[in-house]
Amino acid sequence: MKVAVVGVTGLVGTVMCEVLEEQNFPITEFLPVASARSVGKTITFRGKDHTVISMEDAVAARADIAIFSAGGGVSKEWAPRFAEVGTTVVDNSSAWRMDPTKKLIVPEINADILTENDKIIANPNCSTIQMVMALAPLHKRYGIKRLIISTYQSITGTGAKAVNQYEAEKEGKTPEEMAYHYQIMDNCIPHCDIFLENDYTKEEMKLVHETRKILRDDDLKITATAVRVPVQGGHSESVNVEFFSDYNIQEVRDILTATPGMIVQDNATNNEYPMPLFSKNKNEVFVGRLRRDESAENALNMWIVADNLRKGAATNAVQIAEYLVANNLVGAMVEK
Active site residues: 126, 235
Beta bridge partners of 235: 306
Please report, as a single letter, which amino acid is at residue 238.
S
Q: Whose CA is closest to 309, among 215, 247, 203, 234? A: 234
CA distances from 251 to 75, 102, 191, 215, 259 (A): 42, 34, 36, 21, 12
Q: Provide the 3-class DSSP secondary structure of residue 218.
A: coil
229 vs 247: CA distance, rounded Å = 33
Q: 77 and 114 in contact (C-beta within 8 Å)?
A: no
103 vs 219: CA distance, rounded Å = 19
Sequence-separated contacts (24+) of 178-182 with Cβ below 8 Å: 179/155, 180/228
Pairing mode, strands 120-122 and 103-104: parallel
Burial of 286 (0-12, 13-18, 19+ CB in 10 A): buried
